[in-house]
Amino acid sequence: MAAPKRLAFLVFPRLTLLDLIGAYDALRRVAAMSIDSKVTHRPGGLGTVALMDNKRAIDYLKTWGDERPLASVRSGVLLLGRAGYLKDKRAATHHLTVDLLRPLCREVVTNRRVVDEGEVVTAGGVSSSLDLGLYLVEKYWGADARVRIANQMEYRDYSPV
């Protein structure tokens, strides 16, 4: 799988900053380390539920297309589901949004921090944003890059499980 060269982050009112920053920090280090860096990441937060019925936001997400990698953490996963990206896929989300996610995907996974369904990768609770970022680094740039970045971050508890 070719490594993405661009990253996009959907930022909206009332997002949870750690959902954004946890993954962003690991992924931005790819560029800083001159590792070839097209992944889009949707953080979660209290504003996510309001965006689920926002036609403009969902239509924008649909423009991303099925062939580009997508990643989301926590309740941001609901937006990927509403845009149709989780049909016939498994997904993780925050424990308080499991019931909202059920009709939008094949299976809600509650026993893993990160769930990889090919071009769509999802993560559970807010702290799993760090694991999601490191998981994406390893997926696209290799285990050595993930280890180097985790060491820079002094993050010793990486676990996609």
> Is CATH 1.10.10.10 correct for 7-153?
no
Instruction: Please tell me the predicted confidence (pLDDT) of residue 1.
Output: 61
Instruction: Please tell me the predicted confidence (pLDDT) of residue 37.
Output: 46
Instruction: Please tell me the predicted confidence (pLDDT) of residue 157.
Output: 84
Nearest to 146 by CA among 132, 125, 129: 132
**DSSP assignments along 90-151, one per residue:** EE---GGGHHHHGGGSSEE--S-SEEEETTEEEE-STTHHHHHHHHHHHHHH-HHHHHHHHH
**10 in Cβ contact with 39 (< 8 Å):** no
Instruction: Please tell me the predicted confidence (pLDDT) of residue 3.
Output: 65
Each domain of the chain, given as residue ranges in start order, spans 7-153
**132 in Cβ contact with 73 (< 8 Å):** yes
Per-residue tokens: 92:
């993780």
Per-residue tokens: 148:
């180097």
Segment-wise mean pLDDT, segments of 10 residues, the chain, 161 residues: 68 79 78 57 66 89 86 91 96 94 97 95 91 94 94 87 73
> What is the model's pTM?
0.81
